[in-house]
């Protein structure tokens, strides 16, 4: 039996967990001395409420090798194959934890750790496609070959509504964040090849959304794409962005979902993003 495991940095509609039998090992979220497990002790609303209440952005930590070992044991039976697909190793130690756990359990399960070189809905798309391929009779090697093909083609473009979370998390200096906020500057970030880069900044929310759509069009052209919108506590703007983008892209499939807490921790509420890759 093939089990598909990912982590809390993956974005996907909640129904995918059952529909495609995707298991998610939660990330650790640390508010001061207290640690919460994503989606077990802390959901999206309670996360944002705690940040607003404490004025502290928590630290996130990858699951430990021990947590992976216990998770694998819980979901699989001896001899099963586990395809464990995780957020880019350039931003997190999650993949490394999976590798250590896989080595420890090598005599019990066939565990295949995969560095997605990305995250967010791109990671969710990869897991969904893996299950669809498995149901079509494809082997693990064929799925891995597909992953190698699409990794570099997954595009993730985000725009931040505020730099306050980035300031609190230490991603930007206090003065820089305050100045940007005063000028109503909206930065645009791209997650590609495992790295998040701030690639542009504009002066208003409307211009930022237009710029994100424009950049996506530059990448996608007229090619048919799997396409999605992620958002951090701003469903109305996400729905508007989705409708605008659908009118300009050649989409095969459309998804709208929440941005993972691991990214929201640094980018904050109001963050919107496009995620897509070629369908061909």
Dihedral (CA of 237, 241, 243, 244) sign: positive
User: Do 21 and 132 belong together in one domain?
Assistant: yes
Q: Write down the residue that tokens 């039976």 correspond to.
A: 77
pLDDT band at 191 (very low <50, low <70, confident <90, very high): confident
- Whether residue 273 lies inside any domain: the answer is yes
Number of domains in the chain: 2
Least confident of 26-30, 241-245, 248-252, 259-263: 259-263
Q: Does 270 lie in the same domain as 182?
A: yes
pLDDT score of 178 = 46
Instruction: Identify whether residues 166 and 115 lie together within a single domain.
Output: no
Angle at CA of residue 118, ends 218 and 247, nearest 5°: 35
d(CA 124, CA 17): 10
241 with 259, same domain: the answer is yes
- Of 185 and 89, which is predicted with more confidence? 89
Question: Average pLDDT, stretch 202-222?
Answer: 91
Structural domain boundaries enclosing 235: 154-278
Query: pLDDT tens digit string along 85-116?
Result: 999 999 899 999 999 999 999 999 999 999 99
Q: Give residues with Cβ within 8 angstroms of 88, minimum separation 6.
A: 95, 115, 116, 117, 118, 119, 191, 194, 195
CATH number of the domain residue 125 falls in = 3.40.50.10170
pLDDT, tens digit, for every residue of 134-181? 999 999 999 999 999 999 899 999 998 877 776 666 555 544 544 455
């Amino acid at each position: 039996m093939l089990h598909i495991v990912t982590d809390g940095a993956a974005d996907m509609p909640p129904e995918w967990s059952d529909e495609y039998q995707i298991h998610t090992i939660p990330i650790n979220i640390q508010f001061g001395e207290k640690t919460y497990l994503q989606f077990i002790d802390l959901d999206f609303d309670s996360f944002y409420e705690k940040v607003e209440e404490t004025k502290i952005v928590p630290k996130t930590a990858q699951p430990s090798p021990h947590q992976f070992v216990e998770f694998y044991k819980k979901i699989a039976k001896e001899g099963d194959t586990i395809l464990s697909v995780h957020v880019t190793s350039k931003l997190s130690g999650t993949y490394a934890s999976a590798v250590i756990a896989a080595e420890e359990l090598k005599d019990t399960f066939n565990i295949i750790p995969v560095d997605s070189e990305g995250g967010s809905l791109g990671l969710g798309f990869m897991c969904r496609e893996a299950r669809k391929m498995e149901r079509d009779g494809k082997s693990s090697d064929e799925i891995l070959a597909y992953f190698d093909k699409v990794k570099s083609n997954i595009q993730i473009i985000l725009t931040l509504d505020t730099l306050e979370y980035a300031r609190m998390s230490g991603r930007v200096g206090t003065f820089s964040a305050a100045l940007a906020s005063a000028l109503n500057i909206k930065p645009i970030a791209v997650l590609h090849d495992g790295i998040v880069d701030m690639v542009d900044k504009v002066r208003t929310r409307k211009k930022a959304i237009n710029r994100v759509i424009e950049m996506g069009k530059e990448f996608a052209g007229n090619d048919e794409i799997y396409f999605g919108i992620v958002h951090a506590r701003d469903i109305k703007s996400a729905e508007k962005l989705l409708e605008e983008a659908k009118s300009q892209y050649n989409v095969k499939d459309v998804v709208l979902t929440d941005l993972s807490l691991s990214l929201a921790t640094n980018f904050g509420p109001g963050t919107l993003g496009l995620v897509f890759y070629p369908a061909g």
